[in-house]
């Protein structure tokens, strides 16, 4: 499986690094953590994070995960997204990208991923 990506507030990612795992409200509310494949990140950012500041993008290695990952659509559309059914151990986070805004303050893919 290809690498997974998650957009999240920088403060949540800092806390995850300190505690050793990442979990988000969607895990408690829906039973899984929403993620994206690289080609989906910008669409997700426009639909769900437009106008928000203080966000970072992090890359997750699915091979380092010890819980189920499903590629599915749970919202009735046709595009399939990766969902992680458990916490993300910090060891599975391979990179945190902090350069995620252009000069106008709009979320963008980091240069390293373009």
Task: State the chain's mean pLDDT as an integer.
Answer: 95
Is the per-residue pLDDT at 20 higher than 90?
yes
End-to-end CA distance of the chain: 20
Interval 22-78: pLDDT, tens: 999 999 999 999 999 999 999 999 999 998 999 999 999 999 999 999 999 987 788
Is the per-residue pLDDT at 6 higher than 90?
yes
58 vs 111, residue with greater confidence:
58
Structure tokens at 26: 């969607």
Count of helices and strands (H, E) across the chain: 3, 8
Domain boundaries, the chain: 4-109
CATH 3.20.170.20 fits 4-109, yes or no: yes
């Amino acid at each position: 499986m290809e690498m997974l990506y998650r957009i999240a507030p920088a403060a949540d990612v800092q806390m995850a690094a300190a505690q050793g795992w990442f979990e988000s409200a969607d895990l408690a509310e829906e039973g899984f953590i929403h993620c994206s494949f690289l080609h989906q990140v910008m669409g997700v950012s426009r639909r769900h994070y437009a106008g928000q500041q203080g966000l970072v993008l992090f890359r997750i290695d699915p091979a380092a995960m010890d819980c189920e990952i499903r590629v599915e659509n749970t919202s009735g559309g046709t595009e399939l997204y990766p969902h992680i059914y458990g916490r993300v151990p910090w060891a599975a986070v391979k990179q945190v990208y902090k350069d995620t805004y252009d000069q106008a303050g709009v979320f963008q893919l980091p240069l390293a991923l373009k």
